[in-house]
Amino acid sequence: MAQIKVGVIGCGVISEIYLKNCQMFGMDVVACADIDVERARSRAAQFGIARACSVEELLADPEIEIVINLTIPNAHADIARQALLAGKHVHSEKPLALNTEEGKALVELANSRGLRIGAAPDTFLGSHLQTARKVIDDGWIGRPIAATAFMMSHGPERWHPNPDFFYQPGGGPMFDMGPYYLTALVHLLGPVRQLAGIAQTTFAERVITGANRFGERIPVSTPTHVTGLLQFEQGAVGTIVTSFDVWHSELPRIEIYGTEGTLAVPDPNYFGGVLRVRRQGAEQWTEVAPLFGFSENRRGLAVADMADAIKTGRPHRANGELALHVLEMMEGIHVSSASGRHYEMTTRCERPLPWPVGFDEEGVRLSFFHR
């Protein structure tokens, strides 16, 4: 069967790993575009992609069926909308949009046109989070009653060449890193019914210490220390803290507490890592061997899954409903902080389908692209 043809819009830092992985999985990336055409040319040359072009040209190409949207957060919704209006399926980097209203409009547009929409992160498809899901679903920690998630850092201005967007609306630690943690929690525990948040903007500006713009000051227009409390439909209570203000911390990344034990889940910003379980009465933690592939950086895996889902007519895993629910959680935490009141969620989603046990990179190459 002919491969689904893919176009990439946004050829910055993250496009490199996407292109590498898309090619590794056997996807046919035929064009890439950027507002800065030089960047598109450079990525096209690096990966042997036939065409580097403008966004308009890419969207006008009738061959391209899926657009991968790797632009900066405040361009995500606009590019996704344009792609859908051009009749293309779209997978965006996170967040899906800057607010729930915009996100809902995108999901509705996609549904009304029979097109797929999806968004990062796809790290929940990695070996650690898929194995964690199986451990929970098979009852090893009993009924989950609570979860904690902590992302403590001092921001990306030490390493990112253009860190401005991290400190604008759509950035900040919750919109930038929250998607990894919240998507992981929804994947493990299901949707959230109600939440509350308190957020603060600690520093009015940040100083870039990365090499190319060393010493430059950038203004901060979004909260940089954001805490949230989550009531899952299933009954568990979650606590999340995301920060760009903390120099050092020894807090874990994610822990799930059940009636019969605790599961310690490694960093959801990555695909792999050591998963540990400790059941009631156990003297120590036990490492759980991964039951799936995808322990290396496999960003772009969700696009491969979407391509297969289109061909076979099944739901794709990193889907619009999931991304929209996570987007509303992030916005809701900020809304609750500003209003001083709890926030009732208006969206919900199903837990995404887990992989079949043992599924790995070879499975993607064989079953997704060579049916």
**Which among 184, 193, 194 is positioned nearest to 147, based on CA atoms?**
184
Q: 13 or 338, CB closer to ligand NAD?
A: 13
The CB-of-116 to ligand NAD minimum distance in angstroms stands at 19
Q: 6 or 79, CB closer to ligand NAD?
A: 79
The CB-of-35 to ligand NAD minimum distance in angstroms stands at 4
- The residue with tokens 């507002």 is 35
The CB-of-161 to ligand NAD minimum distance in angstroms stands at 7
The CB-of-25 to ligand NAD minimum distance in angstroms stands at 18
Q: 144 or 206, CB closer to ligand NAD?
A: 206
The CB-of-34 to ligand NAD minimum distance in angstroms stands at 5
The residue of the chain with the least Cβ separation from ligand NAD equals: 12
- Judge whether 318 and 306 are in contact, CB under 8 Å: yes
- Cα separation, 144 vs 147, in Å, equals 8
Q: 11 or 189, CB closer to ligand NAD?
A: 11
Which residues make up the interface to ligand NAD (CB under 6 A)? 9-14, 34-36, 39, 55, 70-73, 75, 79, 93-94, 162, 176
Q: 270 or 369, CB closer to ligand NAD?
A: 270
The CB-of-10 to ligand NAD minimum distance in angstroms stands at 3
Q: 95 or 144, CB closer to ligand NAD?
A: 95
